[in-house]
Structure formats: C-alpha cells, structure tokens
C-alpha cells in the first residue's frame, strides 16, 4: 500500500478536475494529478511524464530510469502483481484510455 | 535468500558491503552490542527480508523493524468500529485490500463481508467516491488509513466530494503521523537504536526537515532511503559514516524522489483537511499524543465518526501477543509464544502477521522461524 508504482501519463481525462490517464505496466486508469501539476502550466505538459502512482494519485515526477528501476524492484519483491491486481479489480473509476 | 550477484549492480553492492564492514570494524562494537538500525517503513522491512540483506552484512549490524506499517499498528478497537459501520444496512464500506484481514475482536472486515456486510475492496479513495456517485441511495464510507503517504490522497478525495456536494460519502479517518511516533519511541528510557533508515515515500510528502529533532535533540542519524537493495546499503553506510565521525545529521539518499521540502500541493491538502487528535491509540504501542488526525470542522459532514455512532471501544490485544515489543525492537518475532503456531499469515492473531510489510509476516515468510535469521 505504501510503495506506489511508476506509470506514464498518456492523456488528460478532465482538465478542470485535474484528472489524467496513466499507463501502469499496460493497465490504464484515471488518476488525480494535483500533486504533480505545476502552477500556471497547462496539464497537457504532463503527457509523457513518468510519475509515481500511489492509490490513484500521481505523487511525484520521476525520470524514466528511476521508473524502470522501481518497476524491477516491485517485480522482485512480488509487489507488482498485487498493485496491478488491486488497480484492475479494485477500480470503480473508468480504466479505459481517453484516446 | 538472494545473493549479491543478483542485484542490479552487483559490483556496487559488493563494494558497499565491504565498506560497511570496514567502517563497522572501526566502531569498536562487540557481538553482544551490535549497531542497531531501525528501518521505520514497512516497505523497507519487506525489501530487507526479500533481498536477505541481513545475511549479507556483518554480524555487528542488526536491523530493528519499526512501526511503519499502517496495517500493523491499527488497534483492534478501530477494526471493530469498521465492522460496526460496515454492518449497517445502508452502508457500502470501501477499503484498501490490505486492511481486509486485520483481526478485530469479533471479526475482520473479510469475515464481516462473508457474513453479508457490503464491504468493497477498492484501489483508491477516488474509487470509493465513484461508488458514492453511482449509489446515491447508499452511504459510502471509505476507510482512510496510512501515514503521510496516503493522507493527501484521502484529503484530496474529501475536497473533491465537498466541491461536488456529494452528500453520501464519508471518511472513517484513521490516518497516523510518523513524527510524534518517532519521538515517543526515542523518549522510551531504554530505546537503544543507533540510527534510522527514514521512510522514502512518507518523506516524498513531508520532506526531510520534520526529522531534524532526531539529530538535534537525540543525537541520532537518520537517512531517508529508497527501496532498492543498493539504496538500503548506501543509506546504512551513510549512517555508519556519521557514527564513525561522531556526527548526527538528517541525510537524504533518495533525493531523486524526495524533495527536501516535500510536496507542497500534498501538504496543503493535508493541512486544510485534517487536524491532530489529542491522542491516538496504536496497536502494541498504546496511546501516542497527537499521532493521529481527524477531519477539521469545515469537513465535518464527511466525517464518518460524526455521521454514525461509532462504538469507539478500546480493546486489549490478546494476552499472548507481543506485537508491541516486536514493534519497538525489544524482542524478535520468534520470542512471541504464538509465532508460527496460532499466529500465521493465514490466520493472524496479531497485526504484524497480516501485511507483507509486518515484521512477523516477513520473518515467517523468509525463514526466520527459529531465531537463526
Ligand atoms: S507472532 Fe503474531 S501475536 Fe506474536 S508478535 Fe507477531 S503478530 Fe503479534
């Protein structure tokens, strides 16, 4: 629950509501991006950015290398499937891509 | 058990382990007086066991598994409160999967669900809010738990509910904060920890400044660490270097994710939505002042504790259970009389057996069964 998982922002779901679509190892879901958005910058600028996703919220921007390393650690310690499963089965919000 | 050559950078890992050995030898510690380092975060506990780090390090170093697994420190009475709310016919009780199996004094949430309560496992508090939107005739209660890492998520969800004027959503707030808890540990008269590996993702939210008192008042080093084996080894080395130099500072090994000042948007949401409770109870640790938060007055309408009559009964842990002593590093899990017998990951008696981040579950899973880890 506390580790979070890296994902890449692939689309903006709702600009006013600060929601974006993130791809986490092939699973897509809508996440809140308030904590990684920069003031005065359009949300569009987040597309392509890697973030650490924690219970449906993008909590920190990370670089691609860090994302790869984190995914590897999560896979090794056996947390990856758990996170993705929770995301798939525990998600009520739409998982579908916005594009 | 893993070996160094399986790490992402085996040469670096081997070099770090050598350097740790060298510095450790200069500290003049004996086997019966090892350097004790507490990893505060349950994610670190899990990684230390998974990679068998203890086995790779000199005997003079001992990890103590701290209170940083939110599921593990949830008191039994709060689980009973969850069950009581969940059993109300109008309620949909939404929770993270981790919390489903934590034992209450009557039953766990999983058992409540089997008995007919409408308990739903969700991935995010946003999913709970979506349940509320889709079920306007039901009361959706989200079980908010976790340290500063998850606190912003529930705060932002409550703010979203307020903005949308959703009236059938509430939060059963059990969020806890790590700083007062570290202070309470440090103030214990016989607390013999030499240094701390600080939590990575809590610090991503709060930054590194809140830990300063640990160095300034208690003269102990703390190094915020990432979750790779290399991160943990590097952090340990940074702690030992400080000790060797007779210093105590707060350092940040995980700067690639943890900004010194934390995350301002997350902190703003936390500040706006929550206020400290005068005191909060922890499983195994007792009551700790200002260690828990509740919703502030402007968000009272979203507070499940105000909306429903929550029994709020204090329930003592089972007599045999030694969770508290394990959490503070006073004893190892195998010293608990029920470890591996009546308390197992399948049928946990204590909370440290429930989550893979709990010390007892880690010992059980990775073979520290007989005290030979
Ligand atoms: S074995 Fe079970 S009861 Fe004993 S300390 Fe560990 S979790 Fe608690």
pLDDT tens track for A66-81: 888 888 878 877 777 8
Helix (H) or strand (E) holding A87: helix A80-89
Is some CB atom of chain A closer than 8 A to the CB atom of B272?
no
Q: Which residues of A touch B142 (CB under 8 A)?
A: none
Residue with tokens 């016919």: B89
Based on the structure, what is the number of domains in chain A? 1
Q: Do the domain assignments include residue A95?
A: no
> What ipTM was reported for this prediction?
0.89
Q: Do the domain assignments include residue A19?
A: yes
CB contact residues (below 8 A), chain B span 79-108, against chain A: 96-98
Give the number of other CB atoms < 10 A from CB of residue B361. 27
Q: Do the domain assignments include residue A39?
A: yes
Residue range A5-29: average pLDDT?
A: 93
| Strands B195-198 vs B250-252: parallel, antiparallel or unpaired | unpaired
Atom of ligand 1 at shortest range from CA of B354: 7
Q: Do the domain assignments include residue A71?
A: yes
Facing B149 at nearest CB: one of A2, A32, A72: A2
Q: Name which residue leads in pLDDT, A7 or B7.
A: A7
Q: Do the domain assignments include residue A35?
A: yes
Query: For position A22, what pLDDT does the model report?
Result: 95
Give the number of other CB atoms < 10 A from CB of residue B22. 13
Is some CB atom of chain B closer than 8 A to the CB atom of A41?
no
Which residues, other chains included, contact B117 with Cβ-Cβ below 8 Å and sequence gap of 6+?
Answer: B83, B86, B87, B91, B93, B109
DSSP states of B177-217: -HHHHHHHHHTSTT----EEEE-HHHHHHH-SGGGHHHHHT
Query: For position A1, what pLDDT does the model report?
Result: 55
Per the DSSP assignment, residues forming a β-bridge with B275 are: B294
* Residue in chain A nearest B124 by alpha carbon: A55
Q: Do the domain assignments include residue A94?
A: no
Q: Which residues of A touch B125 (CB under 8 A)?
A: 55-56
- Residue A2: pLDDT band with limits 50, 70, 90: low
CB contact residues (below 8 A), chain B span 286-345, against chain A: none
Locate B284 and state its tokens. Answer: 């195994």
Burial class (CB in 10 A: 0-12, 13-18, 19+), A23: middle
Give the number of other CB atoms < 10 A from CB of residue A97. 13
B76-110 residues labelled b (16+ CB within 10 A) or e (exposed): bbbbbbbbbbbbeeebbbbbbbbbbbbbbeebbbb
| C-alpha of B266 from chain center | 19
Query: For position B237, what pLDDT does the model report?
Result: 97
CB contact at 8 A, B279 and B290? yes
| C-alpha of B149 from chain center | 10
Which residues, other chains included, contact B312 with Cβ-Cβ below 8 Å and sequence gap of 6+?
Answer: B77, B81, B305
Give the number of other CB atoms < 10 A from CB of residue B279. 13
- Residue B94: HSE in the Cβ half-sphere, 13 Å Cα cutoff: 28
CA B280 to CA B286: how far, in whole Å? 8
Per-residue pLDDT of chain B (373 residues; tens, 9 = 90+): 456 777 778 889 999 999 999 999 999 998 889 999 999 998 898 889 888 898 899 999 999 888 888 888 888 899 999 999 999 999 999 999 889 988 888 999 999 999 999 999 999 999 999 999 999 999 999 999 999 999 999 999 999 999 999 999 999 999 999 999 999 889 988 888 999 999 999 999 999 999 999 999 999 999 999 988 999 999 999 999 999 999 999 999 999 899 999 999 999 999 999 999 999 998 878 899 999 999 999 999 999 999 998 888 888 888 888 988 888 778 889 999 999 999 998 888 888 888 877 889 888 988 654 554 3
Q: Do the domain assignments include residue A65?
A: yes
| C-alpha of B25 from chain center | 32
Q: What is the CATH number of the domain that holds A40?
A: 2.30.30.140
Q: Do the domain assignments include residue A97?
A: no
Is some CB atom of chain B closer than 8 A to the CB atom of A93?
yes
CA B119 to CA B135: how far, in whole Å? 14
Is some CB atom of chain B closer than 8 A to the CB atom of A23?
no
Residue range A12-41: average pLDDT?
A: 93
- Residue A21: pLDDT band with limits 50, 70, 90: very high
CB contact under 8 A, A55 and B125: yes
Among B360, B362, B369, say which to mutate for ligand 1: greatest number of ligand atoms within 8 Å of CB. B360
Query: For position A93, what pLDDT does the model report?
Result: 58
Domains of chain B: 73-176+261-308 (3.40.50.11740)
Q: Is the pLDDT of residue A96 over 60?
A: no
* Greatest Cα pair distance in chain B: 68
CB contact at 8 A, B361 and B345? yes
Alpha helices in chain B (DSSP H): 10-26, 42-50, 53-56, 76-86, 109-114, 125-134, 151-163, 178-186, 200-206, 212-216, 229-244, 264-273, 304-307, 323-327, 359-365
Is some CB atom of chain A closer than 8 A to the CB atom of B130?
yes
Per the DSSP assignment, residues forming a β-bridge with B247 are: none
Domain span at residue A79 reads: 5-89
Q: Which residues of A touch B8 (CB under 8 A)?
A: 69, 72
CA B90 to CA B118: how far, in whole Å? 9
């Amino acid at each position: 629950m506390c580790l979070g998982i890296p994902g890449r922002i692939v689309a903006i779901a709702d600009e006013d509501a600060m929601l974006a679509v993130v791809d986490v190892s092939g699973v897509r879901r809508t996440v809140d991006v308030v904590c990684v958005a920069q003031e005065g910058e359009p949300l569009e600028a987040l597309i392509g950015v890697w973030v650490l996703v924690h219970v449906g919220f993008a909590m920190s921007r990370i670089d691609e290398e860090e994302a790869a390393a984190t995914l590897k650690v999560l896979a090794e310690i056996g947390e990856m499937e758990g996170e993705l499963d929770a995301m798939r089965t525990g998600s009520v919000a739409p998982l579908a891509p916005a594009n | 058990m893993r070996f160094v050559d399986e790490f992402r950078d085996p040469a670096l890992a081997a070099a770090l382990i050598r350097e740790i050995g060298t510095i450790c030898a200069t500290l003049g510690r004996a086997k019966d007086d090892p350097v004790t380092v507490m990893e505060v975060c349950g994610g670190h506990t899990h990684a230390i066991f998974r990679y068998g780090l203890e086995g790779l390090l000199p005997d003079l170093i001992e990890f103590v598994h701290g209170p940083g697994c939110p599921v593990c420190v949830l008191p039994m009475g709060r689980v009973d409160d969850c069950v009581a709310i969940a059993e109300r016919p109008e309620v949909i009780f939404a929770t993270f999967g981790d919390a489903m199996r934590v034992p209450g004094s009557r039953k766990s949430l999983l058992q409540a669900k089997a008995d007919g309560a409408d308990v739903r496992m969700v991935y995010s508090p946003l999913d709970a809010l979506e349940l509320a939107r889709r079920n306007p005739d039901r009361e959706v209660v989200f079980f908010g738990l976790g340290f500063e890492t998850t606190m912003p998520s529930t705060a932002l969800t409550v703010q979203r509910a307020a903005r949308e004027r959703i009236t059938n959503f509430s939060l059963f707030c059990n969020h806890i904060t790590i700083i007062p808890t570290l202070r309470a540990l440090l103030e214990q008269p016989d607390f013999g920890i030499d240094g701390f590996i600080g939590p990575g993702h809590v610090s991503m939210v709060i930054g590194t400044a809140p830990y300063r008192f640990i160095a300034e008042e208690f003269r102990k080093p703390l190094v915020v660490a990432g979750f790779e084996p290399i991160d943990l080894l590097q952090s340990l080395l940074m702690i030992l270097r400080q000790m060797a130099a007779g210093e105590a500072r707060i350092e940040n090994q995980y700067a690639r994710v943890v900004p010194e000042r934390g995350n301002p948007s997350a902190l703003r949401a936390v500040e706006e939505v929550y206020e400290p409770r005068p005191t909060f109870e922890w499983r195994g640790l007792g009551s700790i002042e200002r260690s828990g938060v509740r919703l502030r007055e402007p968000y009272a309408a979203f507070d499940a504790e105000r909306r429903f009559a929550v029994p709020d009964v204090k329930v003592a842990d089972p007599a045999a259970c030694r969770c508290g002593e394990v959490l503070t590093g006073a004893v190892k899990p195998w010293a608990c009389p029920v470890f591996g017998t009546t308390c197992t990951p399948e049928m946990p008696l204590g909370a440290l057996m429930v989550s893979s981040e709990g010390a007892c579950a880690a010992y059980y899973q990775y073979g520290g069964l007989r005290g030979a880890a």
